[in-house]
Chain A
Amino acid sequence: AQSVTQLGSHVSVSEGALVLLRCNYSSSVPPYLFWYVQYPNQGLQLLLKYTSAATLVKGINGFEAEFKKSETSFHLTKPSAHMSDAAEYFCARAQGNEKLTFGTGTRLTIIP
């Protein structure tokens, strides 16, 4: 089955530092790709999505992600971390009749 791999189950960054969360996908044909955020005791909220238009996708809360076919990657970035960014982040994919498949998640901690 096609999948997404999130590198690093836990990432810690200092407040104001760059946030980089990694996601790689497996397939020869680029899928649709998504990033979701989950705050404690809440459901998942869509941050952004890639659907084969622009390779640099801007999302909510200052996050963006760049689709790189040559690297089969869709990493999530934010230039300056805020304390409110502390959450768990999930990368997901879908393609054709394939339903959304999620990575195992990356928990982001912000150090004051």
Chain B
Amino acid sequence: DAGITQSPRHKVTETGTPVTLRCHQTENHRYMYWYRQDPGHGLRLIHYSYGVKDTDKGEVSDGYSVSRSKTEDFLLTLESATSSQTSVYFCAISQAVNTEAFFGQGTRLTVV
């Protein structure tokens, strides 16, 4: 993997609790992304960042927020987790918006 670390790798949480997933990169790439992967849907973009404190929504952003206070860290927060947010979450990085992205190992989140 291209210097991308996601934490935690697995998490089980209860409905209604807040959850924060962390992505850390050592590649100094400008763009960072959060995707969720669900059977039959492929990967869907939740939010992305194009620089420190610069973020924007993806196609499935409802119920999620993000923050990027440093180039290397991109946090995804579920303010109040719901069962529909049970998924595998992937962080990705890229040097430019329309180039290949490099992916982390994923975080498997279960909301019970």
Residues of A within 8 A of B (CB): 9, 32, 34, 36, 41-46, 49, 90, 94-105
CB-based contact A32/B98 at 8 Å: yes
B1 is an interface residue with CB less than 8 A from chain A:
yes
Query: Given A42-B105, A43-B90, are A32 and B42 also a contact pair (CB < 8 Å)?
Result: no
Q: Kindly list chain A residues whose C-beta atoms are within 8 Å of the C-beta of B105.
A: 42-43
Known: A90-B42, A100-B45, A104-B42. 12 other contacts (CB 8 A): A43-B103, A43-B104, A43-B105, A44-B92, A44-B103, A45-B103, A97-B97, A99-B33, A99-B45, A99-B98, A100-B100, A105-B42
Given contacts A102-B42, A103-B42, A104-B42, contact A94 B99 (CB under 8 A): yes
In the complex, what's the smallest C-beta–C-beta distance from A32 to chain B, in angstroms? Answer: 6
Known: A43-B1, A43-B105. A90 touches B43 (CB 8 A): yes
Contact yes or no, B42 A34, CB < 8 A: no
Assembled-state Cα–Cα distance A46/B43 (Å): 14
Instruction: Provide the bound-state CA to CA distance between A21 and B46, in Å.
Output: 27
Interface status of B74 (Cβ within 8 A of chain A): no
In the assembled complex, the Cα of A34 lies from the Cα of B43 at a distance in Å of: 14
Given A43-B90, A43-B103, A43-B106, decide whether A95 and B98 contact each other with a Cβ distance below 8 A. yes
